[in-house]
Amino acid sequence: MNILEYMETHGHEQLCVFTDKGVGIRAFIAIHDTTLGPALGGVRTWPYKSEDEALMDVLRLSRGMTYKSAAAGLNLGGGKAVIMANPQEKTEAMMRAFGQFVESQGGRYITTEDVGATTQDMEWIAQETSHVTGLPVNQGGSGDPSVMTGYGVYQGMKACAMEVWGTDSLEGRIIAIQGFGKVASYLVGHLLEEGARPIVTDINPAALKRAREQGLEVVEDPSAIYDVECDIFSPCALGAILNDGTIPRLKCKVVAGCANNQLLEDSHAVALRRRGILYAPDFIINAGGVINISLELGQPYDEEAALEKTAHIYDTVERVISMAKTEGITTAQAADRLVEERIAAMRRVKGIYL
C-alpha cells in the first residue's frame, strides 16, 4: 500500500503509529482534517489480518468522521484510531497505554467508543488523557450515543417525508427496518409514538424475540426485508447494503437509516435516484451520536442542548434535498458538496492573519 499517496489523494493530514511490546499494543491514529477543530473519532479494536487492512480502515474511517462532524455543523475535524487486537484480549494496561498515545497528540485527536470498545475502556483511557469523550453518565458523560442517533434518524425521516408526501407526519407510514439493535430500538420508540407502522428484521433471534414481545411486526427471514412493501426502508445494521442486488428489489419511496456507509459504491446513489427513491445520506442522518458526545467537550453535558442540535438534522436533510434538486445531482453528492464548501470556507477564514 502506498500510504503517502493515498493520504495525499484523500486529503489526510497525519498518521501516527504506536507500539508497546510490554503491554502488547499496536495501534494507529489517523487525523484526516482539522480545519474545523480537533479530530474526533472512536477507537476500534479489531483482529485485523494485516497492517495494510488496519491502515486502510483507520484512514477511511477518519475521513468519514470529517464529513459527519462538518455536516452536523460541529467545530470538529475527523480522526479515528485502531488497535490491532482481539477485543476479548484487551487489558487495562493496553487501554492506558493507548490513553498515553492519545495524550501525546496534545489534543489534535480526541477519542471515543467504536466497535470493540466498552465504557470500561473509556474509563481506563481517561486515566491517562483528558482528550476522551463519550464517558458514562455516572462520570459526567453523555452515556449511550444510540439514543440521540435514533432521534436524529427519526428527524431525518420526517424531512424526507415532507419532500415526498408533502407532510412530515409519519402516521400510518410503513417503515421496514433492517437490524433491530440499539439505534433501531430508540428509533422505533419515536415511530410508534407518531403512529407509524415499523416492520423489523434481524439476524439475531434474541433481537427478533424482543421485537415480538414489544408487539412489533417481524420479518423472519432477514434477506426478505428488501422485498417488503413499505414507504421507508431503514438500514440500521450494516454498510454496503445498497447495491446492484438490493436496489432493484426495494419497494419504498425513501431510504433513511443509521448504518454507516450504506452505499456499496457512489454510483448506487444514482441507481436509487433513477428508481425514484429519495436517499437520506447516512453521515447526515446518523450524526446524532457525534453531536451528543461533542456536547461533553469542555462543558458539562446538557441533554436538552443535544436534543435541540440533533433536531437540526431535519434542516440539514432539507438543505441537501434542495441542493440536489437545484443542481441536478444526487443527495449523496449534495451532502459531500455541503461539507466540502464549509471546510473550504473555514480554511479561507483561517488564512486571515490576525
Out of 68, 80, 253, 309, pick the active-site residue.
Answer: 80
Distance CA 200, CA 235 (A): 10
> Binder to ligand NAD among 78, 99, 141, 289 (CB under 6 A)?
289
Among 61, 159, 191, 207, which residue interacts with ligand NAD (rule: CB under 6 A)? 207
Residue 212 in contact with ligand NAD, rule: CB under 6 A: no
DSSP letter at 229 equals: B
Query: Per CB under 6 A, does 176 bind ligand NAD?
Result: no
Half-sphere exposure of 235 (CA within 13 A, CB side): 26
Cβ of residue 230: shortest distance to ligand NAD, in angstroms?
Answer: 15
Residues 263, 295: contact at Cβ < 8 Å? no
> Applying CB under 6 A, does 197 fall inside the site for ligand NAD?
no
Q: By C-alpha distance, which of 214, 208, 175 is closest to 191?
A: 175
Residue 178 touches ligand NAD, criterion: CB under 6 A: yes
Bridge partner list, 82? 28, 44
| Nearer residue to ligand NAD within complex by CB, 62 or 146 | 146
Contact residue for ligand NAD among 13, 121, 202, 296 (CB under 6 A): 202
Annotation says 68 is catalytic: no
Give yes or no for a contact between 104 and 319, defined as CB atoms under 8 angstroms apart.
no
Q: Is 224 in the site for ligand NAD (CB under 6 A)?
A: no
What span, in angstroms and rounded, lies between the C-alpha atoms of 2 and 131? 30
Q: Classify the C-alpha dihedral 240-70-335-1 as positive or negative.
A: negative
**Given 15, 237, 263, 284, the residue binding ligand NAD (CB under 6 A):** 237
Are 29 and 16 contacting, i.e. CB atoms less than 8 angstroms apart? Answer: yes
Candidate segments 41-49, 201-209, 273-281, 320-328, binder of ligand NAD by CB under 6 A: 201-209
273 sits near ligand NAD (criterion: CB under 6 A): no
Query: Using an 8 Å Cβ cutoff, are 264 and 270 in contact?
Result: no
**Residue 87 interacting with ligand NAD (CB under 6 A):** no
Does 109 interact with ligand NAD (rule: CB under 6 A)?
A: no
Q: Is there a contact between 78 and 63 (Cβ–Cβ < 8 Å)?
A: yes
With CB under 6 A as the contact rule, which of the stretches 43-51, 125-133, 232-240, 333-341 interacts with ligand NAD?
A: 232-240
Query: Nearest residue to ligand NAD, using CB?
Result: 181
Backbone angles phi, psi at 176, to 5 degrees: -90, 120
Number of residues in contact with ligand NAD under rule CB under 6 A: 24
C-alpha cell at 144: 449511550
**Catalytic residue positions?**
80
Residues that bind ligand NAD (CB under 6 A): 145-146, 149, 178-184, 201-204, 207, 222, 236-238, 258-260, 286, 289
